[in-house]
Copies of this chain bind each other. A is one copy, B any other.
Amino acid sequence: MSGAPSIPMSATLAADEALDRRRRAGEQVLPMAGGEIGLPVLPALRRRLAAAADANAYGPVAGSRALRAAAAGYWGRRRLPTDPELVVAGPGSKPLLFALLLALGGDVVVPVPSWVSYAAQARLVGARPVPVPIAPGQGGVPDPERLRAAVTAARAAGHDPRSVVVTLPDNPTGSVASPGTVRALAAAARELDLVIVSDEIYCDLVYDASEPAESPALHAPERTVVTTGLTKNLAVGGWRTGVARLPDSDTGRALHGRLVPVASQIWSSPPAPVQAAAAYAFDEPPEVVERVAASRRLHETVARAVAGRLTDAGALLAPVRATCYLYPDFTPLGDRLARAHDVHGGADLVRFLGERHGIGLLPAGAFGEDGDPLRIRAATSRLYGEDDAQRTAALAAPDPLQLPWIRANLAHIDAALADLTGTRTPRA
């Protein structure tokens, strides 16, 4: 028997769609719920897709030779030498993660908080997500000590955890777990005989290039699957492309032998014209490297500007080191929010800011946090402009915060925070 009666709509996609409806109805809205990157396609990348419009054959289930070789090179330049035969491409890293869960079998450990779809996908395949909290500031990686305890308890209760998902850098917290935490996680996974699925889709969006995210594949190479895509670094989420790097080990080859058949039965092959463009992007010619760098600078500038406003308003926020996500904790403002606005948790706060200020956000509960804490996730990646002209200008601007439309978006946030906190003098 199977069934998916209780699978919720992806919270990010649902919130985005709802806000887009309000925008179309003429409201002034600020979409900060979904992680879509509001930037135009790099022209050279767009040309590659257009030039491949005659590619109509399925090609190999695991993706074209060119794409797998390019992805292998991409990882090779990031301290992870890769055999193209152990790369599997898919129509997005989300379907790849889903197929991996099916191919791995068993239950799966997910960090708390973590991306909205890990636990939902696990439930969808009939697995039990085993939630394990992160240590403070170590977003995306279940606390290794608590991981040991949780897996031991789950196994004692007759469950069957076989894998652990990590996110490096992290969504929703925008933090990057330290190399020490990653090493400890790798060691714990080896002790517990868990496969590590490391979602590294944000790996090019670490602000300080001298402190890249550490992949667990460096420390537990025999058991770590790495996934990534072009959705975040090159803003082509709507194209649907992703790649997985399987371990060069007996475990990895056995997993490959299960993953490719699963892929063949669910999606056949990734979209062929997109594969051609993706092969070009993973090869990282200079114009691609420059565009990713410009995007990273823009994310950093705007995310830090919003982070400053949130901490000025009294929210707690871990240092933001990557991505375009902020995960502020409004607990210090709890009394004020309850008294003035009848806001008692993250869900209330999201509703308040959505209804009264047209700002789309997600509550911590969407990321698996229990008890509806007074915490939300804000994505800053759609503040860059309304159209490609504005967004291109934002990418090129020496100081994007001075662009009128970005100033207006920040003022929108200021006004909402002033209302929230009862201050009358929003930051200029």
A62-101 CB mask vs B (1 if < 8 Å, else 0) is 0000000000000000000000000000011011001001
- Given A1-B107, A239-B273, A271-B240, CB of A124 within 8 Å of CB of B266: yes
A5 and B102 CA atoms in complex are apart in Å by 9
**Is A2's CB within 8 Å of the partner chain B?**
yes
Decide if A105 touches B4 in the complex (CB within 8 Å). yes
* CB-based contact B57/A267 at 8 Å: no
Chain B residues with Cβ below 8 Å from A102 are 2-4, 7, 124
Contact check: which of B125, B267, B271 meets A2 at CB < 8 Å?
B125
A221 within 8 A of B: no
Is A422 interfacial (CB 8 A cutoff)? no
B265 touches A105 (CB 8 A): no
Q: Does A268 reach chain B (CB closer than 8 Å)?
A: yes
**A258 to B5, Cβ gap below 8 A?**
yes
- The distance in angstroms between the C-alpha atoms of A154 and B53, with both chains bound, is 47
A46 to chain B: which residues have CB within 8 Å?
53-54
Chain A 48-65, CB within 8 Å of chain B: the 1/0 string? 011101111111110000
* Residue-wise interface mask of A (11-31) relative to B, using a CB-CB cutoff of 8 A (1 in contact, 0 not): 001101100000000000000
Scan A90-121; emit 1 where CB is below 8 A from any B CB, else 0.
01101100100111111100000000010011
Report the Cα distance A56→B10, complex, angstroms: 19
Q: Point out the residue from B34, B124, B237, B264 that lies within 8 Å of A262, measured CB to CB.
A: B124
Q: Which residues of B contact A13 (CB under 8 A)?
A: 58, 61, 264, 268-269
**What copy number does this chain have within its complex?**
2
For residue A277, which residue of chain B has the nearest CB?
A: B53
CB within 8 Å for A237 and B58 given contacts A10-B264, A258-B7: yes
The answer to the question of A182 belonging to the interface, with a C-beta cut-off of 8 Å to chain B, is no
Tell me the bound Cα distance from A34 to B58 in angstroms: 10
Known contacts: A61-B13, A271-B271. The answer to whether A239 contacts B4 by CB under 8 A is: no
Kindly provide the distance from the CB of A316 to the nearest chain B CB, expressed in whole angstroms: 31
In the assembled complex, the Cα of A51 lies from the Cα of B105 at a distance in Å of 41
Question: Are A98 and B17 also in contact (CB < 8 A) when A1-B127, A36-B57, A103-B4 are?
Answer: no
Interface contacts beyond A7-B261, A9-B260: sample of 6 additional A-B pairs, CB < 8 Å, sorted by A: A1-B127, A7-B102, A13-B269, A50-B53, A240-B270, A271-B271
A sample of 23 cross-chain residue pairs with beta-carbon separation below 8 angstroms, ordered by A number, consists of A1-B105, A2-B102, A2-B127, A3-B106, A7-B262, A9-B260, A10-B264, A13-B58, A17-B61, A40-B56, A41-B54, A54-B388, A55-B238, A56-B239, A92-B268, A117-B265, A125-B126, A238-B269, A238-B271, A238-B272, A240-B268, A240-B270, A271-B274
- Residues of A bordering B, CB below 8 Å: 1-5, 7-10, 13-14, 16-17, 34, 36, 40-41, 46-47, 49-51, 53-61, 91-92, 94-95, 98, 101-107, 117, 120-121, 124-128, 159-160, 235-240, 258, 260-262, 264-274, 388
